[in-house]
Structures are given as structure tokens and as C-alpha cells.
Amino acid sequence: MIFDILTLFPDMFQSPLDSSLLKKAREKGLIEVRLHNIRDYARGRHKVTDDYPYGGGAGMVMKVEPFAEALDAIIRERGRAPVVLLTPQGEPFSQRLATELAVHPRLVLVCGHYEGVDERVREHLIDREISIGDYVLTGGELPALVIVVALSRLVPGVLGNVASISSESHAEDLLEGPQYTRPDEYRGWKVPDVLLTGNHRNIEDWRHRESLRRTLRKRPDLLEKAALSEEDRKIVEALKKEG
């Protein structure tokens, strides 16, 4: 998958791109991240990318022309791809949305800064708006990285263990249950017996029940949209009675 990222601060991406999963995925050629400095597309000797808001008000607004010209250049070189503006006003990012976006071979991510972008960027240059949460950051760089990591994990071959994706939190609108590793006892804190039995059927049943229990306790809202079987619903009712 290829990500074209428009940003005023390309340096902010270097360390995450050179570490851990993104580094390996890039080395294997499974993802490519192309950073485009918006300033390179600004006009004039001073390469100004922001200006005062019409009508007055606090802060500076990012100008429309550098975004338009950067996007024109990307389209000329690579062809069209969905263009996403990172903004706290966008559709909330989720695992479901990550799965939806991961089908695209390419994605263009547009990072705002300062007070945000001239409204004409929103009206004429982008296809969708995404927020990573109900809080305001300084720029779209960290949100863009969040999207790159979440989508890269879904690219075939990036994760060693593909099976883990389907049992992870949010994959089925459920949280993943508890996980343990060696030793089986530490300071008297024991690993649940069922996990040491080697009985895979019982282990799977236990994990599923714990996943339902954890979701009920921590994120009962998720259970409303999860595709629960009749058996799951009975388990949830029993767990509610357990308190």
C-alpha cells in the first residue's frame, strides 16, 4: 500500500517510519510512504503557507494554493487516489474504518496545522475527513501516522501472525480477553488453569467468554453493535448476573 502524505513537518515522520513494524514493512516493500512538504508548493520568495483568517479571529489558516498544487503534482505523477483530510471534525477513526480504507492500493493523507485549512481545501480537494478522537492536536502528523500504522497492520504479509488480527480488540466489536506468558506463577499470581491444559476447544471457549466479559465491563457500548450469537447473548446475560 502506498501513502502520499502532505505535511509542513515531514521530519515528524522519520523516527516512526524507521522503527518497528513500519520499518520492516517498508524494507519488505509492502508499504511505501512518500512525504510531500507543502512548503515546496507555496508561491513567492518566502514560501508562505498560511495567512490571517478573513473576517478576523485567532491564529493562522493554511492557504488553499499549496494544497491544490501539491495534489495536482501527485495526481500527475501517480494518478488519482482517495484524499483524506485529518481534522478533529472528521468521521471518527475506528478498526472498521481502517478495514474499509485498507482495500485501497493508495491513499493520500493531508495534514493541517495552525488553526486548520482554508475551507476550499475541504470543499474541492478532498474525498473524506477523518478524526482520530474528540480532542485537538497541533497538527495532522500524529493522526496520519495513526492511520498509516493501523492500515499497514492489515496489509497481507506485514504482521507475522495473521490469525492474531481476527481475535484482536475491535476486530469483531469485542475487546480481546486477558493474555499471559511464562512463568505460570509469579509471587503467587497464577495463570488460569484452563490455559495450561492444552485443550484447545476449552481454551477457545474460555477466551471467547473472557472477551465478552471484558467488553461488558469496559465497553458495554460495543456489545450493542457486535454480531452476537444466541449463545453469546446467554453468556452476556449470565455475566451481568455475576456482576
Ligand X SMILES: C[S@@+](CC[C@H](N)C(=O)[O-])C[C@H]1O[C@@H](n2cnc3c(N)ncnc32)[C@H](O)[C@@H]1O
Residues that bind ligand X (CB under 6 A): 86-89, 111-113, 115-117, 131-133, 135-140, 143
Minimum distance from residue 237 beta carbon to ligand X (Å): 37
Of 84 and 236, which CB lies nearer to ligand X in the complex structure? 84
Instruction: Taking each helix axis as running N to C, give the angle between helix 141-152 and helix 20-27, from 0 to 180 degrees, rounded to the nearest 10.
Output: 60
Of 6 and 174, which CB lies nearer to ligand X in the complex structure? 6
Task: Give the CA distances from residue 106 to residues 44, 98, 127, in Å, rounded to whole numbers and listed in that order.
Answer: 31, 13, 13
Of 145 and 228, which CB lies nearer to ligand X in the complex structure? 145
Phi, psi of 190 (to 5 degrees): -105, 150
Minimum distance from residue 118 beta carbon to ligand X (Å): 11
Give dist(CA 78, CA 179) in Å, integer. Answer: 43
Of 10 and 112, which CB lies nearer to ligand X in the complex structure? 112
All 3 cell numbers of residue 193?
A: 488453569
Name the strands in the sheet holding 83-92, side by side, starting at the edge strand that comes first in the sequence.
32-37, 2-7, 106-111, 83-92, 128-131
Minimum distance from residue 21 beta carbon to ligand X (Å): 21
**In 134-199, where does DSSP find H-type helix?**
141-152, 163-167
Minimum distance from residue 158 beta carbon to ligand X (Å): 23
The residue sitting closest to ligand X, measured at its beta carbon, is 112
Of 49 and 215, which CB lies nearer to ligand X in the complex structure? 49
Q: Which of 63, 13, 18 is nearest to 36 (CA)?
A: 13
Contact yes or no for 81/4 (Cβ under 8 A): yes
Of 88 and 177, which CB lies nearer to ligand X in the complex structure? 88
Of 31 and 132, which CB lies nearer to ligand X in the complex structure? 132
Contact yes or no for 86/109 (Cβ under 8 A): yes
Q: How many CB atoms lie within 10 A of CB 230?
A: 6
Tell me 117's DSSP state: B
In the block, residue with C-alpha cell 485567532:
58
Minimum distance from residue 142 beta carbon to ligand X (Å): 8
Minimum distance from residue 15 beta carbon to ligand X (Å): 19
Give dist(CA 148, CA 156) in Å, integer. Answer: 14
Minimum distance from residue 61 beta carbon to ligand X (Å): 9
